[in-house]
């Protein structure tokens, strides 16, 4: 059974979606640990309520990435809990080279746009401001750059004329909660291959 580790900074809605699929028997995986850079993250409360180890690790002095010494603590914590796949779920820090050397092609993320469009923060707001008619969400592998890793799954969300950033973001998250557990399921069933930058998914 695949053991995943979840890194989260906030409310943990994708973590909740993953645990629901596990409890429903739709996803044959277990969450080994949830780690946060925010001691008040609701994701930690979700983990504790389900008996999942929940750990706050101080990220260090930088705002957008982990200090080297702290990054090592994150990695050691993941190793301690025998994590095989690292899932970023609203983790608001850039992952660096130590993570990639330890978990090569074993770190995935959910991003609220149809990558490669609208990388970075508040992608739903970027989509509204640009005036696109469709946006969505993307599950992708994490690489050394921001939101550029190989794409696993995507879901499309129409942009409506009366959308606000909040409403659009909510509809995107509804799709996130579907495709993120599905991507983990595909990985857990060994149905995924990476060929150059392309992800190839074998039929079940």
Indicate whether 23 pLDDT > 70: yes
- Angstrom distance (rounded) from CA 103 to CA 98: 9
Mean pLDDT of 155-168: 97
Most confidently modeled range among 24-28, 78-82, 89-93: 78-82
Of 5-9, 15-19, 189-193, 200-204, the least confident: 200-204
pLDDT of 59 over the 70 cut: yes
What mean pLDDT is predicted for residues 130-149? 94
Which of left, alpha, beta for 147 (phi over 0: left; psi -120 to 50: alpha)? left
pLDDT-based confidence at residue 196 (cuts at 50, 70, 90):
confident
What average pLDDT does this structure show over 53-68? 92
Phi first, then psi, for residue 6 (nearest 5°) are: -110, 130
User: Do 91 and 110 contact (CB within 8 A), yes or no?
Assistant: no
**What is the C-alpha to C-alpha distance for residues 34 and 10, in angstroms, rounded to an integer?**
12
Express each pLDDT in 97-126 by its tens digit. 889 999 999 999 999 999 999 999 999 999
Q: Give the helix/strand (H/E) hosting 55.
A: strand 54-56
Please state, rounded to an integer, the average pLDDT across all residues of the chain: 95
Contact between 17 and 180 under an 8 Å Cβ cutoff? The reply is yes
> What pTM value is reported for the model?
0.94
**Interior angle at CA 59, CA 93 and CA 61, nearest 5:** 100
Q: Report the C-alpha gap between 83 and 32 in whole angstroms.
A: 6
Look at residue 204 in the predicted model and tell me its pLDDT.
66
pLDDT in tens, 163-191: 999 999 999 999 999 999 999 999 999 99
Inter-residue contact 155 to 134 (CB < 8 Å): no
What is the structure's pLDDT at 22? 95
Residue 53 predicted with pLDDT over 80: yes
Any idea what DSSP says for residue 155? E
**Domains within the chain, CATH numbers bracketed:** 1-104 (3.40.50.170), 109-204 (3.40.50.170)
61 alpha carbon, distance to own chain's centre:
23
Task: Name the band, by pLDDT with cuts 50, 70 and 90, for residue 12.
Answer: very high
pLDDT score for 96: 86
**Catalytically active residues, by annotation:** 111
Question: Which of 100, 74, 96, 102 lies closest to 6 in space, CA to CA?
Answer: 74
Which of 19-23, 58-62, 167-171 comes out lowest in average pLDDT? 58-62
């Amino acid at each position: 059974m695949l053991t995943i580790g979840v890194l989260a900074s906030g409310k943990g809605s994708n973590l909740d979606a993953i645990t629901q699929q596990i409890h429903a028997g739709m996803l044959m995986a277990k969450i080994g640990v949830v780690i946060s850079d925010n001691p008040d993250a609701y994701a930690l409360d979700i983990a504790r309520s389900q008996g999942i180890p929940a750990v706050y690790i101080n990220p260090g002095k930088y705002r957008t990435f982990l200090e080297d010494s702290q990054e090592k603590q994150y990695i050691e914590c993941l190793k301690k809990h025998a994590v095989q796949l690292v899932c970023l779920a609203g983790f608001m820090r850039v992952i660096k080279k130590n993570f990639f050397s330890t978990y090569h092609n074993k770190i995935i993320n959910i991003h609220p746009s149809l990558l490669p469009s609208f990388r970075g923060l508040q992608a739903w707001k970027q989509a509204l401001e640009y005036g696109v008619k469709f946006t969505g969400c993307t599950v992708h592998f994490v690489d050394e750059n921001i939101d550029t890793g190989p794409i696993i799954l995507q879901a499309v969300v129409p942009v409506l004329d009366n959308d606000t950033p909040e409403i659009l973001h909510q509809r995107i998250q509804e799709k996130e909660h579907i495709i993120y557990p599905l991507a983990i399921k595909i990985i857990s069933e060994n149905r995924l291959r990476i060929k150059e930058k392309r992800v190839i998914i074998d039929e079940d």
